[in-house]
Structure 1
Amino acid sequence: MSSLLLLFLTFLLLSTGLTAEGGPHRDRGGDGGGRRGRGSPLSPPLSPPMSPTVSPTPVSPRVRFSLHSASEAEGCPLALGQEGSLKECGFNATAKSFFIIHGWTMSGMFETWLGSLVAALQEREKEANVVVVDWLSLAHQLYTDAVNNTQVVGRSIARLLDWLQENPLFKLENVHLIGYSLGAHVAGFAGNHVHGTIGRITGLDPAGPMFEGVDPSKRLSPDDASFVDVLHTYTRETLGVSIGIQMPVGHVDIYPNGGDFQPGCGLSDVLGAIAYGTLGEVVKCEHERSVHLFVDSLVNQDKQSFAFQCTDSSRFKKGICLSCRKNRCSGIGYNARRTRNKRNSKMYLKTRADMPFKVYHYQMKMHVFSYKNLAEADPTFSVTLHGTNGDSEPLSLEMLDQIGLNATNTFLVYTEEDMGELLKIKLTWEGTSQSWYDLWKELKSYWYRPAKAAQELHIRRIRVKSGETQQRFAFCVEDFQLTRISPGKELWFVKCADDWKKRPVSNSL
């Protein structure tokens, strides 16, 4: 990706008359014995007829394959149909085989992330074959042309895999295709056209333009491999375009940080990025974060990140979805939990801004049994966790709903460090929200509130659940005579001395 990526794609889609509903023509019937296309051949297409087409018999695929190893850092070329190249490069037919597929390029060169991913795979799976799929000459085109070429590249990969299967020791179940951006859809095409079923496809922020909302036969889908897992890191829509696909397209679709904002990338200041000419770097950071999360899952096995199944990002932000029951949580990236009985299962997690990306998730349940004068103001709270491994920074409680009386108010907080066993919690009422609307409400509240009317909440207990350990704790107010908290004040909570102590659970990670 380059600094012109976002503006270029927007101009491209507008100037060609395409929308996010358009997609490349995909003849899923196969051209050389590929599997029968999915769905009824008589079904009407879901994309408009203006979708670009691709020749079923490409004249020159211009796709190269190179096997990377410790002795061949630059890669040893594999030639289709030439067994001598397999022997010369040291291809191991019985080992796992990873195929790395890059995406669209405006530079015509490999990006730096590719070397990091190759090295991480070699370190984690020392006996494996790590193959780089070079389709730079077909990807270094107008975006629409590169999209058309994805099927050409997918068929080329399928032909290589079919040739490798002539050796009975080579098994498709040991094949793992890893595709970034457009490369994710290339992997899907390869999985459809090969004889047999590929073991796994990982989509790293699959491209959105011309693939969003189209029929599964025209993009990466769960039908393309025994297991398809996807990381979505840039699904934010700008001017009607999302660089990464928003819809779930795998068996498991993981949305780090909601999939629309990655910490450390600075996308919150879009106008500033445009003004200073750094928008492209911001977009690259968000989109490419999917690759770095996958690399992180390979090299930091002792700090494995976990995602949690949830219907949407809003519910996850409320802390509702931290359950591991019935396979509702999973590692991410290389450590994603394989499942075929689910499709388009959405999972969410928070991350740090840098590697290792792991954070520690906590669900906070706060029961308010009494309050005064909160109708016209939205309070802002923070909690500080004190554990056996140290203390956290003050952690903001994101208010997505109004505080409810005699109701359980649920929040999600996370720490970058492992707090160990929690010992105490400090709840602080920081003040009120800082938006203009909230300021106006506060002024109205001040003008119409009776003299000396104080705002306050009464809270006796906070329940905590750890996402990573699945342990539950109950914390009671330190002094049962002091349950009131008001703006600028704090309350301390310690482990309850009654039967609300830690409960054992069986579904820990």
Structure 2
Amino acid sequence: MKSRNRYSTSVIKLSQDIVLMSVLLIMSDHSAKMSSQACLSHNHQVTPTLESRSLNLDRRRILQQCFGKFGCYSVDHPWFSSHRPLSFFPKSPKVMKSYFFLYTRHNPIHLNLLKLEDARSVQMSHFDPSKMTFILTHGYFEHGHAAWLQRMKTELLVNGDYNVIILDWLTGSGPPYSQATANTRLIGVMGGHLMAFLKTHANLDLYKVHCIGHSLGAHVCGYLGSYLKNDLQLELGRITGLDPAEPNFEFTDPLVRLDPSDAYFVDVIHTDGNPITKMGLGLFQPSGHLDFYPNGGKVMYGCDAPMMKTLEQEHGNMAAAFRRVVGCNHFRAYEYFIESINSKCPFTAVECPSWEKFASGECNGCLTDGDPYSCDYMGFYAFTKLKGKRPEKENRALFILTAENEPFCAYHYRVTIKLSDTKESFIQGGDRGNFLMVLNGDNQASTRLQLNKQETFFEPGRTYHFMTTTGDLGHVHSADLIWEYALHPFNPLTWRLRSESRMFVNRVEIEQFGHKHKHTFCAQDKPFLPKKPKRVIWRPTCRENAPDPGSSFLGSLLNADPIGNAQQAINFVNPLNMNPLNGLASITGVFSGFRATMLNMGPSLRRMGLTVMRSDPVRRILESESKGPETP
């Protein structure tokens, strides 16, 4: 009976919210009409009538709710918009409690409870204002004793003698989601009250406070910093947003979501940035001074495992397997941050115009001249390169690759292969296949690494860039390069019937991200036979190639590979082979990649002087792109 009454109450409350929003819209339209009529009748001089004043007063009363010392909260614009169609008031502080659990090296297991405006609770605790203070907070439908929060707390205390405060708002984080979204505003202000109290009564330096929040908790940190800045003219030191929640936040006003103005330094890790329609839970929109997009920020390596394999890993538990499939990308953000705290491997990320350019090895990493911040560290050490200086730019996008399983951190290498432009190489011609490599370092040798992620048609005289990751190899002194020829069974243009495949290589260049050094290994224009490793070593000079001639018509056509891409798309959406949630998002990428390849064929067509029929779709694409925007 009680459960039925609670259900009826929640339904009535939701109905009241919907009726309230309808009334507000009607009143807003009526108020706008009254204002426009007043403007017309008084030569654009606005003279409010008693009726309009009464309407505005009633509108403010309906659209705003106050909670004493914690301030007033509006559900009008920008809190109500097309990106947030349902806007609720936060729950009352009498109903929704916030708890602040303090841990230090003196009490790493047993918490000290800090209470708002209670000086005795601070005095009786192990809080030390001279030390760095971390505030950790959770997201939707979680609590302050969550395993990942305890792990992060432990790693922080291993790293240094800190104050670690876990902000628990369990009573406000439950469903419905729109109500939990509204509650984050009040929870953030409550956290701001505690920081202001500690500054006043314990002389806490707010620049030594770092708030770390996951999902909705990232926006809690944002509201905490915004309250300190806008209401008290104080500034928080740093906020780290761990995959901030996307529903009700993406593309809203900066006041509504986490943004760079909320603290002296704001860094964000995006791991689940697909739209909510594709089961993405995190914000893809840049939200900080530094925005890190590991693996592109949408699908994390290791999270696209087949459904059957995930079910096997969860020992047949369907509920656990479903949670892992749906939430894996979202959870990776705090897993990366936790590992970064004490890892000897730096999570080196590189600033780049796009993920596609980074993944294809087109960005120079830390070798960019004149910009010492062209690469930075994702996670705990993201602020170290600035050396305490305020960031000059906002929304800088940095990219990084991770491993599929723990440890997630990997060492990045940008490999450049220049194929020979000798006469013998051009007579041999291009071939379709893969380049593999083993990097030999002072510490160890890498496993066999496949450089190109899908079979590619390689042409003489061209330069190819690749991104790959390994463990800590130390100084790389040589590399074993392997060529693998791969014909396409349905494409005769890739067949070699009277000759053997050979690939002539001029040189191999290897750059480790995080180190401003590039190693050049000469291959001396020697041929590489299929599946026969050949070692390349450093030499003081290598013969210089002519400039890259660009892709030929045949190369562009073969690398488009519509047959192979179609088969790949079919495999992605096959529920027995791959995760269908992540696979559906790849089909658009297949077609956009094919379109881009068609566009790249334009220069080749012009060099060859070919005339293509107007009915040819390639011609239509090329013509539409070459015209550009119309000019008046």
Q: What TM-score does the superposition give when structure 1 sets the normalisation length? A: 0.80
2:481 is the counterpart of 1:427: yes
Task: Name 1:403's counterpart in structure 2.
Answer: 458
- Determine helix, strand or coil for the equivalent of 2:201: coil
Task: Name 2:246's counterpart in structure 1.
Answer: 208
Compute the displacement of 1:189 (Å).
Answer: 0.9
* Distance in 2, Cα, partners of 1:145 & 1:440: 56
- Determine helix, strand or coil for the equivalent of 2:490: helix
* Distance in 1, Cα, partners of 2:440 & 2:526: 20
Are residues 31 and 459 of structure 1, via their aligned partners in 2, closer, same or farther at CA, if it must alter by over 3 Å?
farther
* Distance in 1, Cα, partners of 2:207 & 2:276: 39
CA contact (8 A) 2:86 2:178 kept: no
Are residues 115 and 168 of structure 1, via their aligned partners in 2, closer, same or farther at CA, if it must alter by over 3 Å?
closer
2:300 alignment partner, one of 262, 266, 272: 262
Compute the displacement of 1:469 (Å).
Answer: 1.9
1:390 alignment partner, one of 436, 441, 444: 444
2:219 is the counterpart of 1:185: yes
Compute the displacement of 1:356 (Å).
Answer: 4.0
Please tell me the residue identity of whatever aligns with 1:183.
G
* Distance in 1, Cα, partners of 2:392 & 2:403: 31
Gaps of 5+ in 1: 1-15, 18-25, 501-509
Are residues 249 and 494 of structure 1, via their aligned partners in 2, closer, same or farther at CA, if it must alter by over 3 Å?
same
Task: Name 2:352's counterpart in structure 1.
Answer: 310
Are residues 286 and 439 of structure 1, via their aligned partners in 2, closer, same or farther at CA, if it must alter by over 3 Å?
farther
Compute the displacement of 1:373 (Å).
Answer: 7.6
Compute the displacement of 1:96 (Å).
Answer: 1.7
Please tell me the residue identity of whatever aligns with 1:167.
H
Which of the pair is proportionally richer in helix?
A: 2
Question: For 1:144-159, what aligned pairs fall within 5 Å after superposition?
Answer: 144-159=178-193
Task: Name 2:498's counterpart in structure 1.
Answer: 452
2:280 is the counterpart of 1:246: no
Task: Name 2:490's counterpart in structure 1.
Answer: 440
Compute the displacement of 1:124 (Å).
Answer: 1.7
Are residues 156 and 238 of structure 1, via their aligned partners in 2, closer, same or farther at CA, if it must alter by over 3 Å?
closer
Are residues 330 and 109 of structure 1, via their aligned partners in 2, closer, same or farther at CA, if it must alter by over 3 Å?
closer
Task: Name 1:176's counterpart in structure 2.
Answer: 210
- Determine helix, strand or coil for the equivalent of 1:476: strand
CA contact (8 A) 2:429 2:460 kept: no
CA contact (8 A) 1:100 1:132 kept: yes
Which structure has the larger Rg? 2
CA contact (8 A) 2:485 2:501 kept: no
CA contact (8 A) 1:372 1:454 kept: no
Cα displacement string for residues 128-184 of structure 1 (whole angstroms, at most 9, x for unaligned residues): 211110101111222222112111211111122222222372121111101011100
- Determine helix, strand or coil for the equivalent of 2:337: helix
Compute the displacement of 1:112 (Å).
Answer: 0.8
Please tell me the residue identity of whatever aligns with 1:112.
A
Gaps of 5+ in 2: 1-16, 19-62, 544-632
2:179 is the counterpart of 1:133: no
Task: Name 1:53's counterpart in structure 2.
Answer: 88
CA contact (8 A) 2:89 2:179 kept: no
* Distance in 2, Cα, partners of 1:152 & 1:402: 58
Q: What TM-score does the superposition give when structure 2 sets the normalisation length? A: 0.65
- Determine helix, strand or coil for the equivalent of 1:279: helix
Please tell me the residue identity of whatever aligns with 2:490.
W
* Distance in 1, Cα, partners of 2:404 & 2:334: 14
Please tell me the residue identity of whatever aligns with 2:196.
D
Please tell me the residue identity of whatever aligns with 1:228.
V
CA contact (8 A) 1:54 1:151 kept: no
Task: Name 2:267's counterpart in structure 1.
Answer: 229
Are residues 120 and 49 of structure 1, via their aligned partners in 2, closer, same or farther at CA, if it must alter by over 3 Å?
closer
Which structure has more relative contact order (CA 8 Å, sep 6+)? It is 1
Aligned positions, number: 458
Compute the displacement of 1:115 (Å).
Answer: 0.9
Please tell me the residue identity of whatever aligns with 2:98.
V
* Distance in 1, Cα, partners of 2:380 & 2:448: 32
Q: Pairwise CA RMSD of aligned residues?
A: 3.5
Which of the pair is proportionally richer in strand?
A: 1
Cα displacement string for residues 189-229 of structure 1 (whole angstroms, at most 9, x for unaligned residues): 11111221100001112112222222222111101100001
